[in-house]
Structure 1
């Protein structure tokens, strides 16, 4: 037992490696290096994260700027369109093309033209209004293009009576001539006001009506 107790302290006194024995000399530098390395890595990671965040904010700001620029260009284009087309729009509205159908104005216009041109008596009939379909697709937005077919029978002294009537009528509204046939009057005589010709025409009165005005009452 005595020999064993003496052997243990002897083993405990085994010399440590030289780098451990001298670590105390560089301990402060090692700690400083470790702290500096950790701070450097953290700074690099933080800088990279901030760089990516800044790039994202830059991309977002650039997208917002581009959207604002496109919106500005669109608004300027709309303003230019308004300046160009507003006179035409006002003229079409004055002629009754934009808005709801007003047959009383058409009837009054026909009467006034007949009296002003001193035309021979004429007869006409207007059918119920229907949606008017064009050959190609035309965007009308919140409006619907509608048409009312009107058949006209006229007694004419000469062809210009018909042409003058249609020309004057175009100043009062918008319509298309579907067909028009001129024939020699069967009862043409030598009287000064005897009709020499007759004309039968089919017109389509057109209106660009707001869709809200076509919605039945109580329907939303």
Structure 2
């Protein structure tokens, strides 16, 4: 009986070692593919990052940009409210030219993959203006700031009393960044 136990134990250990070797070999093969993907995408990602389109959103820089405009332009007053960042669904690919995920292999992820996803953050911007053109100057400067892709969802303008003009705009800031979907718990419904 001890011999059979020893033989069964050795067979289990051998099988475990063989599986570990296969896993190690597969990781080695995947690392070469991952490196090739990274080398292929790196120039594009670096270019997008320098434009503020790839990476974490830059909320502090947005606020600093708004405060800088207020300091430079007499009579301009800006108030803002920034909503939470949300990932854009892939179904919106037709509406947004940057939408659609690019898959990147994740090191050590069993079957999972990081993807480059499109994220959007809505900002409500209230402007007190001296002249109607000031609104266009503010929006143009934000679009040129290289802090992500900013688009105007809607704007309304009216006279607030006296000579002041009030404009209320909703802006959408888009950024791309790597995202790894959370692993589903065992037994979770698809």
TM-score when scaled to structure 1?
0.50
2:96 maps to 1:123 = no
Task: Find the aligned partners of 2:125 and 2:87 in 1 and give their Cα distance.
Answer: 21
Unaligned runs of 5+ in 2: 1-35, 103-114, 184-190
Deviation at 1:119, TM superposition (A): 4.7
Per the alignment, residue 120 of structure 2 pairs with 147
Deviation at 1:169, TM superposition (A): 0.7
- Superimposed CA distance per residue, residues 188-209 of structure 1 (whole angstroms, 9 cap, x where no aligned partner): 14xxxxx1x1100001111101
The 5-angstrom pairing of residues 120-199 of structure 1 reads 120-133=76-89, 134=92, 136=94, 138-141=99-102, 142-172=115-145, 173=147, 174-185=149-160, 187-189=161-163, 195=164, 197-199=165-167
Unaligned runs of 5+ in 1: 1-74, 190-194
SS of structure 1 residue aligned to 2:52: coil
Higher RCO by CA contacts (8 Å cutoff, separation 6 or greater): 2
Contact kept in structure 2, 1:125 and 1:152, CA below 8 Å: yes
How many residues are paired up? Answer: 127
Per the alignment, residue 170 of structure 2 pairs with 202
SS of structure 2 residue aligned to 1:110: helix
Deviation at 1:215, TM superposition (A): 6.1
SS of structure 2 residue aligned to 1:97: coil
Instruction: Name the one with the larger strand percent.
Output: 2
Instruction: Name the one with the larger helix percent.
Output: 1
Task: Find the aligned partners of 1:205 and 1:136 in 2 and give their Cα distance.
Answer: 18
- Superimposed CA distance per residue, residues 67-125 of structure 1 (whole angstroms, 9 cap, x where no aligned partner): xxxxxxxx9xx98x99xx85x962x4223211012211111111122223335211110
Contact kept in structure 2, 1:154 and 1:198, CA below 8 Å: yes
SS of structure 2 residue aligned to 1:204: strand
SS of structure 2 residue aligned to 1:109: helix
Contact kept in structure 1, 2:78 and 2:127, CA below 8 Å: yes
2:71 maps to 1:103 = no
Contact kept in structure 2, 1:100 and 1:210, CA below 8 Å: no
Contact kept in structure 2, 1:119 and 1:161, CA below 8 Å: no
Runs of 4+ in 1 over 6 A off after TM superposition: none
Which structure has the larger Rg over C-alpha atoms?
Answer: 1
TM-score when scaled to structure 2?
0.57
The 5-angstrom pairing of residues 1-16 of structure 1 reads none
What RMSD in Å do the two structures reach over aligned CA positions?
Answer: 2.9
2:179 maps to 1:211 = yes
